[in-house]
Structure 1
Amino acid sequence: MNRSSYVGRFAPTPSGYLHFGSLVAALASYLDARAANGVWLMRMEDLDPPREVAGAQTAILQTLEAYGFEWDGDCVRQSERHDAYAQVLERWFSQGLAYTCTCSRKQLQAYDGVYPGLCRNLGHAPSDGAIRLRVPELEYRFTDRVQGEYRQHLGREAGDFVIRRRDGFYAYQLAVVIDDAWQGINNIVRGADLLDSTPRQLYLQELLGIAQPRYLHVPLITQPDGHKLGKSYRSPPLPADQATPLLLRALRALGQPTDEQLLYGTPQEVLRWAVQHWDAGQIPRLSVIAESGID
């Protein structure tokens, strides 16, 4: 691939600071792009102001810089992209592809996360509730570069899903597809916790006439008790003074080779070495237990 043919991105959510699981996803995304001599973009997925931690956006970018990451261009913020989402939502609503749902969480508890279409034909006004997208009774499938073939029947396994919440904030599924297309993203590297979101995104791409990108879902980093490392569970922020050893741990979690001499190098030196030795075919499919000291 030449530099113009690969466009990747890292898109953190500022609901907390970067933790080791975030580092693994960022590292995989960065190395895959740079090894292909590609573009690597930064996007802040700040769609949910009530859950955003004050100062997290700045801290995330500063942490990435301390760990040696360099991105192309300016960081894009989804909070500045609401007009683009609104235009698509209004078009789909007028075409009957989207509708308003007034169901409460309590009403939907019995349906095991699959929306049963209770409001599909009731004609509620857009301001009365959440906006859902009608899904077809079709199976969507794709081949992930690490996880292999993945398939999901949207009607039976997902149901009509929310694209704008009741509180007026736009949903991740809608924003991520619109912004990936706008930025020209054609390679998506992210955590395997988003694997089951991908079929919904394939459907959104179909509606928008967008070419399907390549996908690579890296394994989740878990605690020994099986819990995923995350902002809400025993996952402290990445310390800036541990950048080199934590980058090496992240490389091992991704199945990549390391060199003991790198332990004495700078984060930039580790990343340069890792780009030269990157092999996505060595990434494990299954979740990886965090090494001692990461939690």
Structure 2
Amino acid sequence: MLLNNVWLLIADMLLIVLCWLITVLCWVFFGAYFFLSRFAGDTCTALEGFQQDPYNNSLSSILPCDELLLAESVLNDVSAGVYKLVNEVNANISRMQQDSSFGVCNPFSGQPEYNYQPNNCSENDIRIGDIPEADYLCGSCGWSLQWRDSDIRKHGVCNGGIPISGNDFRTAIAYTSSIQVLLNSYPGMESLLHCQTVKDAFAEILENHCNPVKREVKIVWAGLVFLSIVMVFLVLTWIVEAYHARNHRFSDGSVKPHHVDDHVIELGRPEEGGKDGVNSN
């Protein structure tokens, strides 16, 4: 009986230790998710600050967008150079052919902004990137890259148009191809200069991820703190119950002393005295 009580006591102690370990893990997970909740909140707040002012915010040390503004003057110089070059070409076309109804599309607005506006062209304007594939450069006469050199020499003069030699045409193709490559990369450079790519990425995070993450993480840590508190009360209750059960088991299994009533002892005394008298006789 005593051995069984000992084994039951050991089992209770092991279960209590196991419950304490589970309780500690619940508190640890609560702390981790609570930290994650605060971290997500601070991160989203920092992203919102970046959206409001990319050049002066808490992320400026990591994303120095203000330093990129130093390159804005270089980009403006490129825009101004292309703008002036296209205007010069159009002026030459107008001077060489008075009745010319078309020109080269200027992809930039006027000074001082020189904004990139590739779609701000009339129907008769030729886009810079379309010049190599065009069947004409002016009037009804022009040059094609598929023409042989002999054809170029034969068609050295345009009837009713602007005379263009093959070498000049190749030079124009080289210029227009280079400018078009620059124009293709211009939106990306402008976006990088104003940190627009980063702003778009942060805007997507704020719109699609920030609020759901903060809400779900808060639900998790709130559930964990409730579970942890419940586990603490349960373990304490179990400890108290185990303590009372242990005392009850050992009190039932112990050997109790045999108590003799007083009147039995008193009744036994004369007999003992009589026996002593007989023996003395």
Same fold by TM-score, threshold 0.5 exceeded? Answer: no
Q: TM-score, normalised by structure 2?
A: 0.21
More helix by share: 2
More strand by share: 1
Compare relative contact order (CA 8 Å, sep 6+) and give the higher one, 1 or 2.
2
Give the greater-gyration-radius structure (CA). Answer: 2
